Amino acid sequence: MNAPLRKVAISVLVLFTLLIVNVNVIQVFRADELRADARNTRVLVEQYDEQRGSIIVDGNEIALSEATDGPLTYLRRYPQGPLYAPVTGYNSLIFGNRGLEEAVDEVLSGDDARLALSFRRLTELFTGQDLSGGSVELTLDPAVQAAAMSALDGRTGAVVALDPQTGAVLGLASTPTYDPNLLSSHDPGAIRAYAEELEALETDPRTNVAISERYPAGSIFKVVVAAAALATGEYTPETVIPAPQDYILPGTTTDLQNFGDRPCSPTGEQPLIEALTISCNTAFAQLGIDLGEEAVREMAEALGIDGTGFDIPLQVEGSTIGDIESDAALGQTSIGQRDVALTPMQAAMIAAAVANDGVLMNPYLVESVQAPDLTVIDQTEPEPFSEPFSAEVAEQLTQMMTNVVDEGTGRRAQISGIEVAGKTGTAENAGPDHNWFIGFAPAEDPSIAVAVFIRNGGGTGGDISAPIAREVIEAHLQGGG
């Protein structure tokens, strides 16, 4: 019987070798894939063992972690969930981190290098205590954020408000919104159910309209073209430019019309300031063509419209004016149509550059980073992004934009006692028109620049978006800003 016994012994060796080869495959070659699999909750669960840092607005926590009795030690809570959802994002067992939860995850989870130097962190490291994360204090003005979200009133749209002098984001609203608490619970079934509910909506509320989506800019882009014209030094607000009723785009038979096909002026020409005030399409198309693609493109790029986007540290999608193949295309581009696509954040930055004497500041959302013991370990210093035009040009643009609100298309943004500067935009697209308004106030010493965007609002920027801007500006100025 010994011969078959030896064969059995060898077979056992082979079977066990198979087992060993198989665990090698699993634990070495497939390890990374298995570890990173979204259904492997281990890595995520590990995060729930540590107290995640808070997100703070004006001294109040808008996202915080609280100890629970459940198997996951800490639960993420958003006391004003829907109000700040476009900023905070969520911290989900199933979908991972989004929004600021993702963008500043290293600070919140305690992995950021800046935190490593804090004393408490070091003692935690050596005593083996649970490490807790750092907190971030935001630049948001709660009054602005609340006014923006309530003024949007359930429509699909966005409001971005900046402090033009620093670039600090005062408000970042995107609607429709959602409740991040329901995506951050510890109940996978409830999370999935809520996510399905959101997905079923016409617009998934998790899409951040303010920074993640780009839309045709319409007439707000005329500010960029006006800036390019003034920057040449050959134009002033009083320079009279051609403003016919109809303008056949060069090299084509396309008839570019004014809004409602109305004449801009009985004489077929008007001062630049007048053209902006009534938002004359034929005047700006021709002005853009006269300036040339290079001048328009340089001004747009200096204002940040260069396709690359920003990191505030939320990711802002890059805005673009697209490729311009011909003068005809340049004419359409100059009134913000064709391939001009801006994020609401980018639109607000145009207004902010004018408001800050021609210096465009880098937008930022995080005021400071705090260690778990609340000592400030990093403070954001405002930095200029570019100087697209001179203070003198800014002055002239301010004068023109003030005129838009005083007696032009932006009248509904007027606030008694305060000079508001602005520009409306009504952008054509496949659906009902998008409605834009960009502006700032007070015009003489601006403390807030805003962009309001309503997707497929169907009316005009002056009718729909200007009043929202007014409410947001009022909220800021009344709040002592």
Partner 1 sequence: MAAPVNGPGTDPRAALAPGAAVPTRRGTELLLLGFAVLITLAAHLIIDITVTGSPGTEMVTFGVWFSALWGVAHVVVRRFAPYADPLLLPCVAVLSGLGLSMIHRLDIAGEQFGGNGAASVDAPVQLVWATVGLVLFIAVLVIVRDHRALSRFAYTLALVGLVLLALPAVLPNSEINGAKLWIRFGGFSIQPGEFAKICLIVFFAAYLVDKRDVLALASRRVLRLELPRGRDLGPVLLAWVASILVLVFERDLGSSLLLFGIFVVMLYVATERASWLVIGLLLFAGGAFVAYQLFGHVRVRVDTWLDPFAYADTGGYQVVQSLFSLGTGGLFGAGLGGGRPDQVPVAKSDFIAAAIGEELGLFGLVAMIVIYLVLVERGLRTSLVVRDGFGKLLAAGLAFSLAWQVFVVLGGVTGLLPLTGLTTPFLAYGGSSLVANFGLVALLVRISDAARRPAGAAATTPPKLTDAPTEVVQP
Positions marked catalytic: 219
Nearer to partner 1, 128 or 480 (CB): 128
Neighbours of 219 (CB within 10 A): 27
- Residue 449 to residue 437: CA distance in whole angstroms: 11
Nearer to partner 1, 191 or 360 (CB): 191
Distances (CA, A) of 32 to 25, 27, 102, 323: 11, 9, 21, 42
Sign of CA dihedral 190, 194, 197, 199: negative
Contacts of residue 105, defined as CB under 8 A and 6 or more positions apart, other chains included, come to 97, 111
Nearer to partner 1, 20 or 391 (CB): 20
Q: Cβ of residue 47: shortest distance to partner 1, in angstroms?
A: 12
Distances (CA, A) of 196 to 86, 178, 217: 19, 12, 32
Q: Cβ of residue 26: shortest distance to partner 1, in angstroms?
A: 5
Distances (CA, A) of 58 to 170, 268, 475: 11, 53, 15
Residue 2 found at the interface with partner 1 (CB under 8 A): yes
Residue 3 found at the interface with partner 1 (CB under 8 A): yes
Pairing, β 135-138 against β 55-57: parallel
| Contact range with partner 1 by CB under 8 A, out of 18-26, 144-152, 274-282, 361-369 | 18-26
Binding mask 33-62 for partner 1 (x = CB under 8 A): xxx-x-xxxxx-xx----------------
Binding mask 110-129 for partner 1 (x = CB under 8 A): ------------------x-
Q: Cβ of residue 341: shortest distance to partner 1, in angstroms?
A: 40
**Chosen residue from 59, 67, 71, 445 binding partner 1 by CB under 8 A:** 71
Residue 201 found at the interface with partner 1 (CB under 8 A): no
- Residue 226 to residue 69: CA distance in whole angstroms: 61
Contacts of residue 31, defined as CB under 8 A and 6 or more positions apart, other chains included, come to none
Provide φ and ψ at 66, rounded to 5°: -120, 140
Residue 187 found at the interface with partner 1 (CB under 8 A): no
Nearer to partner 1, 72 or 295 (CB): 72
Residues that bind partner 1 (CB under 8 A): 1-6, 8-10, 12-13, 15-16, 18-20, 22-24, 26-28, 30-35, 37, 39-43, 45-46, 70-71, 128
